[in-house]
Structure 1
Amino acid sequence: MVQSATIKDVAQRAGCGVATVSRVLNQTGPASAKMREKVMVAVKELDFHFSEVGRSLQSSTTRTIGCVVPSIENPVYADAVQGAQEVCLDAGYQMLLICTNYNAEMETHAIRTLISKQVDGIILTVGDVNNSEGLDLLRSRKVPYSLLYNTAPEGQISWAVDDHAAAAKVASVFHDNKHKHTGFLGLDFLSSDRARQRFEGFAEGCASHNMTPPALLEVDDDSDDLTPRLEAFLKQHPNITGIFASNDYRALATIRSARQLSIDVPRDLSIIGFDGIKVGQMIDPTLATIATEPRALGAGASKTILSMIDGSTPPELPSMDQTFSFRDGGSLTPLVAESEDDGKVAAFPSSNDQTHRQVKIQQERPQ
């Protein structure tokens, strides 16, 4: 087995001391241009690589950043992690990613694990910022951290969306499209404070437009089949003409389940999501949604952590009114006059509904 070259081998090849090689490679001290060239030539010829373990022992840093998110199954978190990782790599840091599956115990375990690995900082999304054992650990250990997507308590930093204002915007959009009876579909509030804040903002927005208070359907992240839950929900609230899903991933699942129930989107039911993931623009109908910039948020969180580590000027957080915008889509349509007049919607049309049957026949007829 061929042994890797050591720093002593590089020093011998370059004709200098080990300390000189270390200064050149770490850029931590003086060395002549000629000696730097000799060292770099020796490094290349010997294919020398610094041992990260040795480097961390010398510098008391590991040049790693931890990242904790609920799931990368939801593309919004995958995009945010990608943005964070790009910044870390450019700065010479590696990223260690752990997903918690919206589980509080896994969240605490993930943070303990990263602390034990002596990461230099952590970017994280927690279930509830006001009740997180993991955040308490980070504060007590004085580990640099930046929240991602959580609304930050006073004195803490977070790269997040103004969930409350964005959700109120959804209520306004439904109102402008003549929808008075709406529902909110979101993850269990105990595992996602983002879902809770979006519901609160949506409910207040509905109230400001004299709309009926939104009906609430909470689902677990591991709920594979939304269809029976949606069917029961709409039968319990037959006047609902629009649903606001707390994220695009759930909105797309709602569209799929609606089709399985022979509910036409948007003719029978309008749906609005939250996040603005790319796949929402690739389906038919396209998804109306609150558009955000997850990659930019992830990158900002990484820059914040790096500024904490090296003492540089932190990046400026975006103003909250610039963190989202409404994107129209085919999943939203104005409520038709007859439905608006009688306050009802045929979410489950009768088998004798000739208009619905004709639409179904046209859809199923071979082209």
Structure 2
Amino acid sequence: MADLLTVAKLAGVSRATAARAFSSPELVRPATREKIFSAAQQLAFRPNKVAQQLRTQATHMIGVMVPSLNNPVFAEQLQAMEVAARACGYSLIVTTSDYSSSREGDIVEEMLRQRVDGLVLTVANAEQSEVLAKLRAETIPCLLVYNPPGSSGFPSIGVDNLAAGADATRYLIDKGHARIGMVAGPLLQSDRAQQRYQGYCQAMRSAGLAPRPLIEMDRHTQADLTSLAPALTGPDALSAVICTNDLLAISLMGELQRAGISVPGDLSVMGFDGIAMGEHIYPSLSTIAQPRADIGRTAVHTLLAMIRGEACSPAPLPHALRQGESAGVPASSKSTLGTS
């Protein structure tokens, strides 16, 4: 069986350079790295990962915790993270919390036992997270994704949720809506939704409109029309709603149309995330799009910089408003336009 020295000779490099290509590939020039990997493939050489870990005290593994894999937002983030990590010689250990703050501590403790080199976490509420409080006493690099940075003490990768919530609200106001509501899952399980609601309230007040109380659903991505129904009747009935994620918006649109409520004829609906599914349904979903792949790639590169001992204070990534067919002018405006 070939050894590292044989690989180095075939690639035309020193043994130290060959060893570095396998242990810290980001430190080796791409062309040199490819020659070494090609030689290893020709010789059927496999580096001894266990020996490397014992020697360097590094596993080249990143622990990642997301709320769910059912939501394409997290799946797209993870796919981008996996590609970026693999290009730098790292692999991911992925776990899900099912939006349960009580599970987060056990999950992180297990990843620490596996000696991951760093953590990328999406927690329920970064400001009140018990697991983050414990991690402040650890030396392991830890990065948040999607959570607002706030005063948690950890760097965070994501968009400005407050500004994005305000942009979604202003978009509906510009279309002529004044009776706008916001729909979310359990609010205490998502600090992102809390900030989006704050942005909605700010935009409503800036326009001289009264913000409505948040309408909470029992689940983050599944709508229950009975919770919304009281706000859809009477003289002050909503003409538009903003959902705090796309899956919730798509679920709500289905419930509305099964109940004979037209979207956007009777009620305009906006989402938040920008998942591809929203473009393929009818009516297509108006939404705030997050750069999910960029968030994943940036998370990996930022964490690796933290592992190298660099100080990181990432700025929010840009969001974009994606216009769709699910948000139109309110019915009262249509009537006015028709008689003018």
TM-score (norm 2): 0.84
**What's the offset of the Cα at 1:101?**
0.7
Q: Provide the alpha-carbon RMSD of the alignment.
A: 3.0
Deviations 1:299-332 (A, max 9, x none): 1111011111234686x834x4x62121211001
In structure 1, the residue matched to 2:155 is 157
Which of 236, 247, 250 aligns to 1:249? It is 247
Structure 1 residue 51, shift from structure 2 partner = 2.5
**How much has 1:175 moved relative to structure 2?**
1.3
**What residue in structure 2 maps to residue 74 of structure 1?**
71
Secondary structure at the aligned position of 2:112 is classed as helix
Asked if the contact 1:186/1:246 (under 8 Å) is kept, the reply is: yes
Instruction: Kindly indicate whether residue 263 of structure 2 is the aligned counterpart of residue 273 of structure 1.
Output: no
Task: Verify the 8 A CA contact 2:220 2:248 in the aligned structure 1.
Answer: no
Alpha-carbon shift at residue 238 of structure 1 (Å) = 5.8
Structure-2 change in CA distance of 1:237 and 1:137 (3 Å): farther
132-141 vs 160-169, which moves further: 132-141
Counterpart mapping for 1:84-233 below 5 A:
84-154=81-151, 155-221=153-219, 226-233=224-231
Match of 1:10 in 2: 3
C-alpha displacement at 1:225, in angstroms? 5.8
The alpha carbon displacement at 1:160 in A equals 1.2
Displacement of 1:221 after TM fit? 2.9
Compute the TM-score of the two structures, normalised by the length of structure 1. Answer: 0.78
What do residues 55-103 of structure 1 show as CA deviations (whole Å, max 9, x unaligned)? 1111100000111111121111111111222110100000011111100
SS in 2 for 1:130: helix
Partner SS state of residue 109, structure 1: helix
- Rounded to whole Å, the distance in 2 between the matches of 1:10 and 1:330 is 61
Q: Distance in 2 between matches of 1:336 and 1:42?
A: 68
Aligned to 1:331: 326
- Give the distance between the partners of 2:273 and 2:8, measured in 1 at CA: 58
Q: Percent identity?
A: 29
Aligned residue pairs: how many?
Answer: 319
Query: Aligned partners of 2:161, 2:110: CA distance in 1, in Å?
Result: 30
Unaligned runs of 5+ in 2: 22-35
SS of the residue corresponding to residue 229 of structure 1 reads helix
Query: Closer, same or farther in 2 for the Cα pair 1:13/1:73, shift >3 Å?
Result: closer
Asked if structure 2 preserves the Cα contact closer than 8 Å seen for 1:215 and 1:237, the reply is no
For residues 41 and 180 of structure 1, what CA distance do their matches in structure 2 show? 63
Cα displacement (A) at 1:127: 0.5
- Relative to structure 1, is the Cα distance of residues 64 and 254 closer, same or farther in structure 2, using a 3 angstrom cutoff? same
Per-residue deviation at 1:182? 1.7
Q: Call closer, same or farther: CA 1:186–1:11 in 2, change over 3 Å.
A: closer
Change (3 A) 1:340 1:51: farther
CA distance in structure 2 between the aligned counterparts of 1:40 and 1:338, rounded to whole angstroms: 65
| C-alpha distance in 1 between matches for 2:335 and 2:205 | 18
